[in-house]
Amino acid sequence: MRDIAATPDRPFGYFVHHQGRGHAERCAAIVNALPASRPVTVFCAQPSVLGPMPANVTVQQIPSLFERRGDECDMDQLQTPDTLHCAPTGWPGIRQAMGQIAGWFASHDPALMICDVSAEIAQLSRICSVPHVAVLQHGDRSDPGHRAAYDGAAGILAPFSEGLAQEDWAPFRHKMHFAAGLGVSGDLPDRQTARAALGLHPDQKMALVLSGGGGTGFGAAPLGVAARAFPDWQWITIGKLQGDWHATQGANLRHKGWVDDVATHVAAADLVVSSTGNTTCAQVLGAGLPWIVVPEWRYFDEQLCKAQALAGAGAALHLPHLPSSAHAWRAAVSNALQGHDCTAQAALLAPDPAQGTADWLERLSKDLWGTALTLETTG
């Protein structure tokens, strides 16, 4: 019979997808908020995205579940069942990754497995009799693979506000935990300090174009049109950008690429134009700025559905693509400035999402294993 007093020392497992930055940032926030007595093993194909981890965290590198390495024997003639997304046969890397995780399940008897994100690893956890927490992202996830992961989950973590919930999540809302702004520091420099750091005159209007790390970024040509439409504004882009040979760039448009001081740029802006990754959205919401959201392509229309949710909550102006003419840019910027509602934006943030999530995970683990022990004792 298991001693329930030992459960706080049983480990949590944590799978971290290495595309983009949000998965790793959420993981870092959560594990730093968990009790030091809770061991955590993090599985990731690219541990460099994680950064420093606390002493109670062990990181295991696993092969990528979707990147080729040259030793595959492709069997594309075999149909992928609807319950799986990315599960090609004949890939030793996938086999080794799943074997590492399953072996750890058997040797460490974990209390929970947190999956951010993989429907296949969520289902592997359930098959191995390990309760799992599925991290939920926006999008059309009505397919059998996602539903199997959510239906079989002990809990579902949504790293954003309940005010951005989709209607089709109703069947599993009872086991969801919302953590608005999870993984993003809410600390922004004051506006004057930020503008001084960027060399901006106090009266200079500045538009910030921000794209995340999960895709290819915005095209350069539409931004040249924007800068020409607003010659008295300074336009700055950070993050990934697609070059266009026909783009015309004026002196009031600067492309900075990746920067370490995203918060400084956000705090200094008068307007933000961005994609809708979780990290990006939390940063902009924290600043309470006029905001235009333009979703990038993602699997399952993740960013499209997130943009629609933000618009529905009154937090941003949603455009399907960057404006293609000067007059369209002027109309979009005017609508964003006039429709700005900082109260609606502030309502989509939480004061300490990391600690709230850590407390929820601890309660969930205790409830699960306490129930299991009670059944074992009385059965």
The pLDDT tens digits of the residues spanning 196-209 come to: 999 999 999 999 99
Band (pLDDT 50/70/90 cuts) for residue 245 is: confident
Cβ within 8 Å of residue 104, ≥6 positions away = 13, 41, 43, 60, 110
Which pLDDT score is estimated for 4?
A: 45
Domains along the chain with CATH numbers: 4-69+79-180+351-378 (3.40.50.2000), 191-346 (3.40.50.2000)
**Mean pLDDT for the stretch of residues 178-197:** 92
Quote the mean pLDDT of the chain: 93
Sign of the dihedral through C-alpha 158, 159, 162, 168? negative
**Which pLDDT band, with edges at 50, 70 and 90, does 1 fall under?**
very low
Statement: residue 169 has pLDDT above 70: yes
Query: Taking 90 as the threshold, does the pLDDT of residue 186 lie above it?
Result: no
Residue 298 is which amino acid? R
pLDDT higher than threshold 60 for residue 323: yes
What percent of the chain is predicted at pLDDT more than 70? 95
278-287 b/e (C-beta count within 10 Å ≥ 16 → b): bbbbbbbbbb
CB of 345 closer than 8 Å to CB of 164: no
